[in-house]
Amino acid sequence: MQPTTKRRLLFSTLLVITFSWVVLARDTSGSSTEGQIPAPQAGFLAPDFTLTTLEGEVVTLSSFRGKAVLINYWTSWCPPCRAEMPAIQRAYEAYRDRGFVVLAVNGTNQDALSDVQNFVLEYNLTFPILLDEAGSVGSLYRINALPTSFFIRPDGIIEEVVIGGPMSEALISTRVETLLEATP
C-alpha cells in the first residue's frame, strides 16, 4: 500500500470513529445541564409561571405578552422591599394606562400570609400580589437576594434584572419608559 493511501485510510477511519463518538455520546435524556440552568437574565425569554393572587385569581405571566411587565420578587419582612414598594406603586399608577403591569411575587414560602395582607394594606398596593407558596417561582428565577426585579419587554424578553434594592422611583420610571418604547 502506498503512503498516500495509508494516510487516507487512517484519516477516514479517524473521521468515522469521531463521528460515531459524537453520535453515541450525545445526551438524549434532555438533562445535560443536570439542573444547573443559569438564572434568567437580560436578553432571554422570561420563564413562564402561573400563581394565585391574594384574591384567589389565577395569573399566568405569558398572558401579559404585548405589555411591559415588572416582576418584583419580595417578602414583607425585607427592609429594601418595604423601601421600594411605594415607588413601584407610584410607577404603576403613572404607567398602567399605557400598558405597564406589575406582578409582585411574594415569597410566601418564607412569609406569613397575614403579614403579606397587612403589607398590602399598609402600602395601599393596587397591582396583583402573587403568592409563591411552594417557592417554585423563586427556584425557577433563581432568587438569591430580596428584592429581585425583572423588567420584561412586551415580547417576553427580559430587558434588565435588578438584584437587591431599594430601587428608586427614577430608576423604575426610566426602565418602564424603555419597556414602553418597545410596545407595538
Asked if 100 and 92 count as a contact pair (C-beta separation under 8 A), the reply is yes
Chain center to CA of 30? 22
pLDDT on residue 183: 64
pLDDT on residue 33: 39
Which residues, including other chains, have CB under 8 Å from residue 81's CB and lie 6 or more apart?
A: 74, 75, 146, 147, 165, 166
pLDDT on residue 166: 95
d(CA 55, CA 141): 24
Handedness of CA 17, 18, 21, 23 (dihedral sign): negative
pLDDT on residue 13: 66
What pTM was computed for the model?
0.79
127 DSSP 8-state letter: S
Quickly tell me which residue has 397587612 as its cell. 118
- Give the type of residue at 120: V
Coil, strand or helix at 11: helix
d(CA 119, CA 54): 12
For domain 50-181, the question of CATH label 3.40.30.10 is answered with: yes
pLDDT on residue 29: 42
Asked if 127 and 93 count as a contact pair (C-beta separation under 8 A), the reply is no
- Give the type of residue at 16: V
d(CA 32, CA 20): 19
157 DSSP 8-state letter: B
**Tens-binned pLDDT, residue by residue, of the chain (184 aa):** 676 777 677 666 666 655 555 555 544 444 333 444 567 889 899 999 999 999 999 999 999 999 999 999 999 999 999 999 999 999 999 999 999 999 999 999 999 999 999 999 999 999 999 999 999 999 999 999 999 999 999 999 999 999 998 999 999 999 999 999 876 6
